[in-house]
Structure 1
Amino acid sequence: MEVKVLNTDLAQIKDEAVAITFFEGEKVLKGKGKQLDSLLSGGISNLIKSGDFTGKAGQVAVFYPQNGYGTKRVFLIGLGKKEKFDLDKIRAAGGRAVQKAKELKLKRFAFIYPDNLPAKFQNQDVAQALTEGVILANYEMAKYKTVDKDKIISIEDVTLIEKDSKKSSAINKGREIGEITSWSACLTRDWVNFPPNELTPTKLGEESKKLALKYNVKCQVLSPEEIKKLGMGALLGVAKGSQEPCRFIILEYNGGRKTESPVVLVGKGITFDSGGISIKPAENMDQMKGDMAGAATVISAGLGAARLKLPVNLVVLVPTTENLPSGTAYKPGDILTSMSGKTIEVLNTDAEGRVVLADALAYASRYKPQAVIDLATLTGACVVALGNVAAGMLGTDDKLKNRLKDASKKTAEKLWELPLFEEYEEQIKSNIADVKNTGGRPAGAITAAYFLKMFADGYPWVHLDIAGMDLEEKGKAYVPKGGSGYGVRLLIQMLRDWRR
Structure 2
Amino acid sequence: MNLSLKKEVQNRGDRIVFVEQDKFQKEGVSRQEFDGKKLTGLLWREPWGRVFYVGIGSQPYSAETFRKAAGFGVKSLLKIGATEISIDFSKQPDFLPFAAAVVEGAILGSYRFEEFKEEKAKRKNKLEILNIISGDIIESNYVQLEKEVQQGATLAEAVNYVRSIGNMPANHVNPEALALKAMELAQTRQGLRVEVFDADRLEKEGFGGLISVGQGSSNEPRLIVLDYQPASALQPVLVVGKAITFDSGGISIKPGERMDEMKYDKMGGCAVLGIMEAVSKLNLPIRVVGILAAAENMPSGKAYRPGDIIRIYGGKTVEVLNTDAEGRIVLADALAYGIDRFHPRLVFDLATLTGACIVALGKQKAGLFSNRKELADFLWKNSEDYGDPLWPLPLGEEFDEAISSDVALVKNVGGREGGACTAAAFLQKWIGDIPWVHLDIAGPAWITKELPYLEKGATGFGVRLICRYLLEQLKGKAS
Q: TM-score range by the shorter chain?
A: over 0.9
Shift in Å, 1:425: 1.4
Most deviating of 369-378 and 171-180: 171-180
Aligned amino acid, residue 11 of structure 2: I
Match of 1:438 in 2: 413
Whether contact under 8 Å (1:274, 1:288) holds in the other structure is yes
Most deviating of 406-415 and 487-496: 406-415
Q: Equivalent residues in 2 for 1:413-452 (5 A)?
A: 413-452=388-427
Q: Equivalent residues in 2 for 1:310-321 (5 A)?
A: 310-321=284-295
Match of 1:59 in 2: 40
CA–CA distance in structure 1, aligned partners of residues 128 and 61 of structure 2: 29
Match of 2:344 in 1: 369
CA–CA distance in structure 1, aligned partners of residues 196 and 90 of structure 2: 46
Distance 1:470 1:370, change over 3 A: same
Residue 74 of structure 2 aligns to a residue whose secondary structure is helix
CA–CA distance in structure 2, aligned partners of residues 400 and 50 of structure 1: 46
Distance 1:279 1:117, change over 3 A: farther
Match of 1:330 in 2: 304
Q: Deviations over 1:387-410 (max 9, x none)?
A: 112000112112332342254143
Match of 2:74 among 98, 118, 121: 98
The answer to whether structure 1 residue 353 and structure 2 residue 327 are counterparts is yes
Distance 1:301 1:2, change over 3 A: same
Match of 1:18 in 2: 15
CA–CA distance in structure 1, aligned partners of residues 378 and 271 of structure 2: 18
Match of 1:7 in 2: 7
Whether contact under 8 Å (1:388, 1:469) holds in the other structure is yes
Most deviating of 191-200 and 172-181: 172-181
Q: Deviations over 1:292-315 (max 9, x none)?
A: 100010121122011101121111
Aligned amino acid, residue 257 of structure 1: S
Shift in Å, 1:468: 1.2
The answer to whether structure 1 residue 227 and structure 2 residue 227 are counterparts is no
Taking structure 1 as the reference length, the TM-score comes to 0.90
Match of 1:30 in 2: none
Identity %: 37
CA–CA distance in structure 1, aligned partners of residues 408 and 415 of structure 2: 17
Aligned amino acid, residue 316 of structure 1: G
Aligned amino acid, residue 322 of structure 1: E
Q: Deviations over 1:209-266 (max 9, x none)?
A: 11112102011011112212321111111111011111101111123734x2111000
Most deviating of 334-343 and 147-156: 147-156
Match of 1:148 in 2: 120
Aligned amino acid, residue 23 of structure 1: E
Whether contact under 8 Å (1:353, 1:376) holds in the other structure is yes
Most deviating of 197-206 and 55-64: 55-64
Q: Deviations over 1:98-141 (max 9, x none)?
A: 121122222222221254365xx7x4x52211111111001011
Shift in Å, 1:96: 1.2
CA–CA distance in structure 2, aligned partners of residues 352 and 465 of structure 1: 14
Shift in Å, 1:5: 2.6
Match of 2:100 in 1: 128
Whether contact under 8 Å (1:127, 1:172) holds in the other structure is no
Aligned amino acid, residue 116 of structure 2: Y
Most deviating of 398-407 and 280-289: 398-407
Distance 1:150 1:359, change over 3 A: closer
Provide the alpha-carbon RMSD of the alignment.
1.8
Q: Equivalent residues in 2 for 1:177-326 (5 A)?
A: 177-216=151-190, 217-255=192-230, 257-258=232-233, 260-326=234-300
CA–CA distance in structure 1, aligned partners of residues 360 and 28 of structure 2: 47
Distance 1:385 1:395, change over 3 A: same
CA–CA distance in structure 2, aligned partners of residues 88 and 213 of structure 1: 34
Shift in Å, 1:190: 1.0
Whether contact under 8 Å (1:21, 1:114) holds in the other structure is no
Aligned length in residues: 471
Whether contact under 8 Å (2:90, 2:136) holds in the other structure is no
Residue 287 of structure 1 aligns to a residue whose secondary structure is helix
Residue 452 of structure 2 aligns to a residue whose secondary structure is coil
Q: Which structure 2 segments of 5+ residues have no match?
A: none
Distance 1:6 1:116, change over 3 A: closer
Whether contact under 8 Å (1:407, 1:491) holds in the other structure is no
Match of 1:44 among 9, 12, 26: 26
Whether contact under 8 Å (2:108, 2:454) holds in the other structure is yes
Residue 5 of structure 1 aligns to a residue whose secondary structure is strand
Shift in Å, 1:202: 0.6
Aligned amino acid, residue 200 of structure 1: N
Residue 271 of structure 1 aligns to a residue whose secondary structure is strand
CA–CA distance in structure 2, aligned partners of residues 14 and 317 of structure 1: 46
Residue 498 of structure 1 aligns to a residue whose secondary structure is helix
Residue 389 of structure 1 aligns to a residue whose secondary structure is coil
Residue 497 of structure 1 aligns to a residue whose secondary structure is helix
Taking structure 2 as the reference length, the TM-score comes to 0.94
Q: Deviations over 1:455-487 (max 9, x none)?
A: 112411111000011111111111111111111
The answer to whether structure 1 residue 476 and structure 2 residue 451 are counterparts is yes
Match of 1:162 in 2: 134
Q: Deviations over 1:345-381 (max 9, x none)?
A: 1110000000101111111222221110100000000
The answer to whether structure 1 residue 116 and structure 2 residue 95 are counterparts is no
Match of 1:138 in 2: 110
Distance 1:150 1:229, change over 3 A: closer
Match of 1:392 in 2: 367
Residue 200 of structure 2 aligns to a residue whose secondary structure is helix
The answer to whether structure 1 residue 77 and structure 2 residue 54 are counterparts is yes
Residue 334 of structure 2 aligns to a residue whose secondary structure is helix
Whether contact under 8 Å (2:384, 2:390) holds in the other structure is no
